[in-house]
């Protein structure tokens, strides 16, 4: 799985003008299941993200995790993280998991974040979503399982 993490002060996602998910201080997590991914990759990625020390401690150093700060997460499906831009001007997405597998692993990843004690909300898989965020730092990190 691939994930793009953005440390946020707040984030929200709307579909058809209705807010369907939001978070406060924490992470906006864009995730993409890749061909061959299983629940094991989703579990490892969620565990790593929950413990990743990218939040400031009392001295202002990135030394605290999402779990440490009791932060929240907004998880958004983002198949375009699989983009292959190595040829031509139009990205290819053939390395992304098939939609049903992607949907299942996206939901499983979000469940794993919740199971780790992270308050987690989601977007809607396959929907045309509008995502708003206030990037804190800014801190943006790319991860793969």
- Residue 33 within any structural domain of the chain: yes
pLDDT digits (tens, 9 = 90+) for 28-74: 999 999 999 999 999 999 999 999 999 999 999 999 999 999 999 99
Q: Is 109 a catalytic residue?
A: no
Our answer to whether residue 14 is catalytic in this structure is no
Q: Are 97 and 105 in contact (CB under 8 A)?
A: yes
Q: Which of 6, 14, 78, 112 is catalytic?
A: 78
pTM for this entry: 0.96
Q: Is 80 known to be catalytic? A: yes
Query: At 44, which CATH number?
Result: 3.50.80.10
The answer to whether residues 7 and 110 touch, using CB atoms and an 8 Å cutoff, is no
> How far is Cα 92 from Cα 94, in angstroms, rounded to an integer?
6
Enclosing domain of residue 98:
2-138
| Model pLDDT, residue 62 | 97
Options 6, 55, 79, 112, the catalytic residue: 79
Q: What is the mean pLDDT of residues 11-35?
A: 98
Question: Which residues are CB-contacts of 42 (< 8 A; sequence separation ≥ 6)?
Answer: 1, 33, 105, 108, 109, 112, 145
| Predicted local confidence at residue 55, as pLDDT | 98
* Host H or E run for residue 109: helix 99-115
Specify the pLDDT at position 81.
97
In which band, very low, low, confident or very high, does the pLDDT at 144 lie, cut at 50, 70 and 90? very high
> Residue 143 falls within a domain, yes or no?
no
**Total count of domains within the chain:** 1
- CA distances in angstroms from 127 to 52, 77, 86, 104, 123, listed in the order given: 29, 9, 27, 15, 8
Tokens, residue 62:
């990135």
pLDDT attached to residue 2: 97
pLDDT value at residue 56: 97
The model's pLDDT over 77-130, given as tens digits with 9 standing for 90+, comes to: 999 999 999 999 999 999 999 999 999 999 999 999 999 999 999 999 999 999
Assigned domain for 92 exists: yes
**What is the model's pLDDT at position 128?**
97
The pLDDT value given to residue 93: 96
Residue 51 lies in a domain: yes
């Amino acid at each position: 799985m691939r994930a793009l993490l953005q440390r946020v002060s707040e984030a929200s996602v709307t579909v058809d003008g209705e807010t369907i998910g939001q978070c406060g201080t924490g992470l906006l997590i864009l995730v993409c299941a890749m061909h061959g991914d299983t629940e094991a990759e989703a579990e490892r990625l969620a565990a790593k993200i929950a413990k990743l020390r990218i939040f400031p401690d009392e001295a202002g150093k990135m030394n605290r995790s999402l779990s440490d700060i009791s932060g929240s997460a907004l998880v958004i499906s983002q198949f375009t993280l699989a983009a292959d831009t190595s040829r031509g001007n139009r990205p290819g997405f053939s390395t992304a998991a098939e939609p049903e597998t992607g949907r299942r692993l996206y939901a499983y990843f979000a469940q794993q974040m919740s199971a780790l004690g992270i308050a987690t909300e989601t977007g809607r898989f396959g929907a045309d979503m509008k995502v708003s965020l206030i990037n804190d730092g800014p801190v943006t990190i790319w991860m793969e399982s």
